[in-house]
């Protein structure tokens, strides 16, 4: 058994490549996109050319032949600089392309994955509804069979859907009730809806607290018709499918949150060395040193958590509890580090020209998206054998 937790050479090379891209390409430009609430198409295109959207997928589908650990590494390095770019990658891979890879037919994979892996198009995952957030089993969107035309007829709405309304969005995988069990419980299925399908309407972008350079919208479906062949996986298995997708996605969000937490350390160390008060750098003050040391401790432990969960996933071992723990802890420390980094920066931390102000605004959603902190605690308790 190896006790060496360092990255393998290929993973370290990826980390350095994305780190360089984040600092040289993303950092100088993303603040302007963020302030304008504008999607950074050229940055995303460059990420596609680098192969980031294809990291965990086989080469036969246009991917890079990597694994989920590789995806997490890329997300962490991007989020050290900016979370809008990182969440665009996270949602495009774990929510957009991964359902097609995990549950799609061979025909669906060959139709969609090459373009998703190259970043030519983005995919989205339509799960959350106005009255069905944490209670995703309360889905009200319906898909009814029309046997005369061989089509599903979809009606309903979704909210808070990332990557759903960009100029390069190609599809949204929608969860919908397609029937009822004998006991009257809803049977939820997943169905691919290509962008531009008649009756599929994408609302204007939300006005958000953070992630302002990413795309998040409300979707509506009014008698949207797609072929039976657009069913993703087995009918009635959509609930189980998205549980698996969310388990994996929590690792990705944990990596992103770790990156934000580490970015707060990076910026705070830099500022503490440059900012002088009372004739010396503020980093000479033990109070500042201890605060930054605590921030580094949190980021380090968060990194160990998400990498452990990712390694279990890659090895085919159970990882549900570890993914929930990683997501719960890393999102908490992201918020803590963003708060402390803002405090260290003083008044400048409240100015949007400083990255920590953006990190502060971006951190809170990490305790909400892809399962709230309360849901993560519930999952951990269940995995420990505790049931309500």
Residue 1 covered by a domain? no
Q: Are residues 55 and 66 in the same domain?
A: yes
Pairing of strands 142-146, 151-162: antiparallel
Pair 295, 218: CB distance under 8 Å: no
CATH number, domain of 30, equals 1.10.540.10
Give percent of the chain above pLDDT 90: 92
- Mean pLDDT taken over the chain: 95
Assign 239 a pLDDT band (cuts: 50, 70, 90).
confident
Average pLDDT of the segment spanning 14-39: 97
What pLDDT does residue 311 have? 96
Task: Look at residue 44 and tell me whether its pLDDT is greater than 90.
Answer: yes
The domain total for the chain is 3
Final residue belonging to a domain, choices 195, 220, 236: 236
Average pLDDT of the segment spanning 366-377: 94
Neighbours of 39 (CB within 10 A): 21
Q: Are residues 230 and 132 in the same domain?
A: yes
Residue 3 covered by a domain? no
Pair 341, 272: CB distance under 8 Å: no
Average pLDDT of the segment spanning 180-209: 95
* pLDDT digits 0-9 by tens, 311-348: 999 999 999 999 999 999 999 999 999 999 999 999 99
Task: Look at residue 83 and tell me whether its pLDDT is greater than 50.
Answer: yes
Q: Which of the given ranges, 110-114, 129-133, 245-249, 278-282, has the highest pLDDT on average?
A: 110-114
Q: Are residues 61 and 102 in the same domain?
A: yes
Residue 42 covered by a domain? yes
Residue 170, both tokens: 């190609």
The pTM of this model reads 0.95
Q: Are residues 212 and 160 in the same domain?
A: yes
Pair 113, 241: CB distance under 8 Å: no
What pLDDT does residue 387 have? 82
Q: Are residues 178 and 312 in the same domain?
A: no
Q: Are residues 136 and 231 in the same domain?
A: yes
What pLDDT does residue 9 have? 93
Q: Are residues 147 and 276 in the same domain?
A: no
Task: Look at residue 3 and tell me whether its pLDDT is greater than 70.
Answer: no
Taking only Cα atoms into account, the Rg of the chain, rounded to an integer number of angstroms, comes to 21
What pLDDT does residue 43 have? 98
What pLDDT does residue 184 have? 84
Secondary structure (3-state) at 288: helix
Distance between CA atoms of 195 and 9, rounded to whole angstroms?
A: 39
Average pLDDT of the segment spanning 32-51: 97
Residue 178 covered by a domain? yes
Give percent of the chain above pLDDT 70: 98
Assign 4 a pLDDT band (cuts: 50, 70, 90).
low
Which has the closest alpha carbon to 310: 294, 327, 335, 290? 327
Pair 265, 368: CB distance under 8 Å: no
Pair 323, 247: CB distance under 8 Å: yes
Task: Look at residue 175 and tell me whether its pLDDT is greater than 70.
Answer: yes
Residue 325 neighbours by CB under 8 Å, 6+ apart: 305, 309, 376, 380
Q: Are residues 135 and 166 in the same domain?
A: yes
Final residue belonging to a domain, choices 107, 122, 137: 122
What pLDDT does residue 154 have? 98
Which has the closest alpha carbon to 221: 197, 200, 251? 200
Instruction: Please give the residue range of the domain that contains residue 182.
Output: 124-236
Tell me the HSE value of 347 on the side-chain side, using a 13 A CA sphere.
0
- CA torsion sign for 315, 321, 323, 325 is negative
Residue 222 covered by a domain? yes
What pLDDT does residue 379 have? 95
Q: Are residues 283 and 376 in the same domain?
A: yes
Residue 267, both tokens: 């910026």
Within 212-370, strands assigned E span: 216-227, 231-232, 276-277, 280-281
CATH number, domain of 209, equals 2.40.110.10
Q: Are residues 26 and 139 in the same domain?
A: no
Average pLDDT of the segment spanning 119-123: 98
- CA torsion sign for 154, 133, 36, 87 is negative
- Which is more confidently placed, 64 or 134? 64
Query: What are the backbone angles phi and psi of residue 146, rounded to the nearest 5°?
Result: -115, 95
Residue 73, both tokens: 């590494």
Final residue belonging to a domain, choices 122, 148, 172: 122
Assign 136 a pLDDT band (cuts: 50, 70, 90).
low
Q: Are residues 42 and 118 in the same domain?
A: yes
Q: Are residues 272 and 354 in the same domain?
A: yes
Identify the burial level of 83 via C-beta atoms within 10 angstroms of its C-beta, where 0-12 means exposed, 13-18 middle and 19 or more buried: buried
Task: Look at residue 1 and tell me whether its pLDDT is greater than 50.
Answer: no
Secondary structure (3-state) at 115: helix
Average pLDDT of the segment spanning 217-228: 98
Residue 10 neighbours by CB under 8 Å, 6+ apart: none
List active site positions: 370
Tell me the HSE value of 211 on the side-chain side, using a 13 A CA sphere.
24
Cα of 313 vs its chain's centroid, Å: 17
């Amino acid at each position: 058994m190896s006790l060496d937790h360092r990255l393998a050479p290929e993973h370290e090379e990826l980390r350095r490549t994305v780190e360089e891209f984040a600092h040289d390409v993303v950092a100088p430009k993303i603040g302007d996109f963020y302030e304008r609430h504008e999607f950074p198409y050229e940055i995303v295109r460059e990420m596609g050319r680098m192969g980031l959207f294809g990291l965990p997928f086989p080469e036969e589908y246009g991917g890079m032949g990597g694994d989920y650990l590789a995806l997490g590494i890329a997300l962490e390095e991007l989020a050290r600089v900016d979370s809008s770019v990182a969440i665009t990658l996270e949602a495009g891979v774990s929510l957009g392309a991964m359902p097609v890879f995990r549950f799609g037919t061979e025909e669906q994979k060959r139709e969609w994955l090459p373009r998703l892996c190259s970043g030519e198009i983005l995919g989205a995952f339509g799960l959350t509804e106005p009255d069905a957030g944490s209670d995703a089993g309360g889905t009200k969107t319906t898909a009814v069979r029309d046997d005369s035309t061989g089509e599903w007829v979809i009606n309903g709405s979704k909210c808070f859907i990332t990557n759903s309304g960009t100029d390069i969005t190609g599809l949204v995988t929608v969860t919908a009730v397609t029937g009822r069990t004998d006991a009257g419980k809803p049977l939820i299925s997943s169905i691919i809806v290509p962008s531009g399908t008649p009756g599929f309407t994408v609302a204007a972008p939300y006005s958000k607290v953070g992630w302002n350079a990413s795309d998040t919208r409300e979707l509506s479906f009014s008698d949207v018709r797609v072929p039976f062949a657009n069913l993703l996986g087995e009918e009635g298995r959509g609930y189980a499918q998205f549980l698996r997708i969310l388990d994996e996605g929590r690792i990705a969000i944990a990596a992103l949150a770790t990156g934000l937490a580490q970015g707060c350390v990076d910026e705070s160390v830099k500022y503490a060395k440059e900012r002088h008060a009372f004739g010396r750098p503020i980093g000479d003050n033990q109070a500042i040193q201890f605060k930054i040391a605590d921030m580094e401790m949190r980021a380090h432990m968060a990194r160990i958590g998400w990498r452990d969960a990712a390694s279990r996933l890659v090895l085919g071992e159970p990882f549900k509890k570890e993914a929930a723990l990683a997501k719960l802890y890393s999102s908490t420390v992201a918020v803590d580090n963003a708060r402390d980094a803002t405090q260290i920066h003083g008044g400048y931390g409240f100015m949007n020209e400083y990255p920590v102000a953006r990190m502060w605004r971006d951190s809170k959603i990490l305790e909400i998206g892809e399962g709230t902190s309360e849901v993560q605690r519930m999952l951990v308790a269940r995995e420990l054998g505790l049931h309500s």
